Amino acid sequence: MAIEFWAMGRPYAGGPGSPEFNGVRQAVRAEEIGFDGIVYVDSQNRYGDTYVCMALAAHATSTVKLGTGVTNSFTRHPAVTASAIATVQVESEGRAYLGIARGDSALAHLGRAPDSVPKFEDYLRRVQAYLRAEDVPFEAGGDINSVGLADYRDSSVIFWIDDVKPPKVPVDVAATGPKVIAAAARHADSVTFNVGADVGRVRWGMDVARSARAEAGLPPDTSFGAYVPLVVHDDPQEAMRIGVAEVALFARFSAMYGTVVGPSSREQREVMRSIHEAYDMHHHGFTGGPQEQAVTTDFARDFGIFGPPTYCADRLAELIDLGVERFILRGLSLDPADPNSKSSERFIQEVAPLLRD
């Protein structure tokens, strides 16, 4: 199987003049370095619009894949999401990718918790149907009859997708808990686990997904990916210092409501619960939050991958042997002015070749 390595970006958090946060420049840099793709955070109160950024990036690049990392099932109607990402698919000539989950910071800044799993699963069904240009039944409770139209359709379809017929955009779910993993396995084109780099936790996620597919009468195999906090540095302690904010961010999803999901030791559960209790949304995605203080060295070492190139390659190889074929890496800066950007270059130059041979 072909292994892919993706970077993560933020559209316009620091203004159009900031290389670190200019989403188009990040895509250009990701392509120059040699990443297979880049995903953009979709959090409207903290960053610029993801789809506008991807459409602009599509015209500034030629090979790098462009995706959401991730959008959610609440802030946009599934028809709006499907139309937006299909537009990026056309403008990028087939390089678009839709990463989706139940929502976190995008909803928190609206005063809301993540969408419920049943609503999320229904959203997945609908957005997939829209992307296939299929008719989608109107949602219950609509009031179109009050308008008094002479005639109208009794279902919804995105006509322009049916006319243009771009390659269908792949839908990938970022999943942590068993219910979301199962929903993703039933309805998404791929599942990307947000459970860290621990082999046991990733294997558990795969088992949940395969069981859900079997129960639904689907073939057991699907495409698997993993979100992994990773920093390449000859000093593992310095690498962990650079990446600790990413560990806290991603580990929190395993204890979103205070109860830890997935296999874990007593010490790991204590750390994840401490991250949950300390989590400050003001520092979500940025360094300096109190949640970082809850991350122990042992926990960071297990949950993320921090160290020299050969160590990083060995850890990733364990996940590849399990069947992970796509890695979305957080902690690798794309800003040439950032001293940590050397980690991105070293990853592609010194780590990736060890895994692609």
Q: Which of 232, 203, 176 is nearest to 318 (CA)?
A: 203
Rounded Cα distance between 295 and 248, Å, is 7
Q: What is the pLDDT of residue 339?
A: 81
SS3 324: strand
Q: What is the pLDDT of residue 75?
A: 98
Question: What is the amino acid identity at position 256?
Answer: M
Q: Render each residue's pLDDT in the chain as its tens digit; 357 residues.
A: 799 999 999 887 654 444 445 899 999 999 999 999 999 999 999 899 999 999 999 999 999 999 999 999 999 999 999 999 999 999 999 999 999 999 999 999 999 999 999 999 999 999 999 999 999 999 888 899 899 999 888 899 999 999 999 999 999 999 999 999 999 999 999 999 999 999 999 999 999 999 999 999 999 889 999 999 999 999 999 999 999 999 999 999 999 999 999 999 999 999 999 999 999 998 887 888 999 999 999 999 999 999 999 999 999 999 999 999 999 999 999 988 888 889 999 999 999 999 986
As beta bridge partners, residue 329 has 7, 228
Rounded Cα distance between 228 and 328, Å, is 6
Q: What is the pLDDT of residue 54?
A: 97
Rounded Cα distance between 113 and 106, Å, is 10
Residue 163 burial (10 A CB sphere; 0-12, 13-18, 19+): exposed
| End-to-end Cα separation, the chain, in angstroms | 11
Alpha-carbon torsion angle 275, 278, 281, 285, nearest 10? -40
Q: Which of 67, 24, 66, 80 is nearest to 48 (CA)?
A: 24
Q: What is the tens place of the pLDDT at every residue in 2-30?
A: 999 999 998 876 544 444 458 999 999 99
Q: What is the pLDDT of residue 13?
A: 62
Q: Which of 323, 305, 322 is nearest to 314 (CA)?
A: 305
DSSP letter assigned to residue 285:
T
SS3 192: strand
Q: What is the tens place of the pLDDT at every residue in 113-126?
A: 999 999 999 999 99
- Domain-wise residue ranges, the chain: 4-137+157-231+307-356
Q: What is the pLDDT of residue 19?
A: 45
Residues in the chain: 357
Query: Kindly report the CA angle at 267 between 288 and 265, in degrees rounded to 5?
Result: 125
DSSP letter assigned to residue 232:
E
Cα R_g (the chain), whole angstroms: 20
Rounded to the nearest 5°, which phi and psi values hold at 40? -115, 135
> Residue 171, Cα to own-chain centre: how many angstroms?
11
* Topology classification of domain 4-137+157-231+307-356: TIM Barrel (3.20.20)
Q: What is the pLDDT of residue 337?
A: 81
pTM above the 0.85 mark?
A: yes
Question: What is the amino acid identity at position 24?
Answer: V
**Beta strands 136-137; 96-101: pairing state:** unpaired
